[in-house]
Structure 1
């Protein structure tokens, strides 16, 4: 509400369990974490529903007559950064977007992951095309030769990102760079993003 609708919500099943327990949170197995995430999505949807009071009786979470606050300023999406098969099925059933990182979900693994998300969506009667596919990419834009995955000149970035869209099914990128160098973000905005949009449009026959 304060931002005027500029936020989406990203969630995960949890990680760094020793730290979570050290700060008073519960320690969960992978199966328990997956179940808890599914319940959390249900409850958040209820909290955004505009209902006067909500109730939820889950295995991990219970809500008894809570009064939600104001509804979001826009139809707020829930994006999940999940990798395992069970959670990808859950994402297809319940979430609006998938946001893995390239380091944990490399391009060669994306097709199988997309299939699991699509299967979950189909089971819930949803159109898989409505689920956003974001990709967290970390690297460096340079003026020299390629020096590893996503480290190299703008033309390398354009080719790699265009391939991730047209061949691997991703539709949105979140760029990160070591040290948060503002010049890198400037180059991303001025050199990389427009070139990738143009290349994708040309591939799809929608340029111009």
Structure 2
């Protein structure tokens, strides 16, 4: 069992469809009004049918009041890290501290290359991500004097000014599945952000994957609890009879979520589906019930 003790977060994963832009923003506003904690959007700049996620995040920040916003996850190969750091800090300032940085090493390399990015191997992508996260944090670090200087294999920063400083400590959540990415997450990430349907054995994969993150965290001198486990659930449905994971009545959802929190350390639950009634019910019925169950088991 791995309960890392984090408070539970709940959110939505909305498809940034350019052909349904009003609906996209309306779903984000619904997420905010439903009292959820996060609204997230996938980031695929090479996908012409999608809105640009960085622009969408800024627009949604202006249309919402309380919900935190994040890409799920930012495609680093098409977002230079020093520029991304300034954009992230700026959005955090403008939103009153509501931005988190979901980030990934990149996928769909042909699409990335078609947009002018580098076509890296998966191993190179991991190395570049580690460098990129370091650059981002250096830009945010306004307590250190002097410019940022990084002369790496993938990124070159030669005296960039530091700042602006984010309003709050922006969490860096890493989209990771393979062993090297899980190790990177444990070593330098503030969170792990995968999708349950992409795990090899679903929930049964969590003990092994958590162990890889925990081992890397320990090797880096960090506590495993420094890495929040954030999980996407794309296939969800409310129904009268429980038929599977997040497929059933609200009380079954709450029990399953509490079980994942207490047994596997998952503490942020982000649902897809692009359905306003589901988002509203998630906030009204599932989130408070799951929080109560976890608090009771933890003895709060």
**How high is the TM-score relative to the length of structure 1?**
0.93
Q: Counterpart of 1:14?
A: 106
In the alignment, the residues of structure 2 paired with residue 202 and residue 142 of structure 1 have an alpha-carbon distance, to the nearest angstrom, of 24
Unaligned runs of 5+ in 2: 1-92
The answer to whether 1:85 aligns with 2:179 is yes
In the alignment, the residues of structure 1 paired with residue 222 and residue 209 of structure 2 have an alpha-carbon distance, to the nearest angstrom, of 17
TM-fit CA distance, 1:85: 0.7
Kept in 2, the 8 Å contact 1:141–1:154? The answer is no
Using CA pairs below 8 Å that are at least 6 residues apart, which structure has the higher relative contact order? 2
The counterpart of 1:127, out of the listed 218, 223, 227, is 223
The answer to whether 1:66 aligns with 2:160 is yes
Task: Calculate the aligned-residue CA RMSD, in Å.
Answer: 1.3
Unaligned runs of 5+ in 1: none
Q: Counterpart of 1:108?
A: 204
**How high is the TM-score relative to the length of structure 2?**
0.65
The counterpart of 2:256, out of the listed 160, 170, 177, is 160
Aligned residue for 1:136, secondary structure, equals: strand
Deviations 1:12-67 (A, max 9, x none): 11011111011111101111000000000000010101144110011111111111
Kept in 1, the 8 Å contact 2:141–2:163? The answer is no
In the alignment, the residues of structure 2 paired with residue 83 and residue 203 of structure 1 have an alpha-carbon distance, to the nearest angstrom, of 29
Q: Where has structure 1 moved over 3 Å in runs of 4 or more?
A: none
In the alignment, the residues of structure 1 paired with residue 210 and residue 239 of structure 2 have an alpha-carbon distance, to the nearest angstrom, of 34
TM-fit CA distance, 1:87: 1.2
Aligned residue for 1:171, secondary structure, equals: strand
Identify the range of structure 1 (38-47 vs 51-60) with the bigger mean alpha-carbon deviation. Answer: 51-60
In the alignment, the residues of structure 2 paired with residue 14 and residue 176 of structure 1 have an alpha-carbon distance, to the nearest angstrom, of 21
Count of aligned pairs between the two proteins: 204
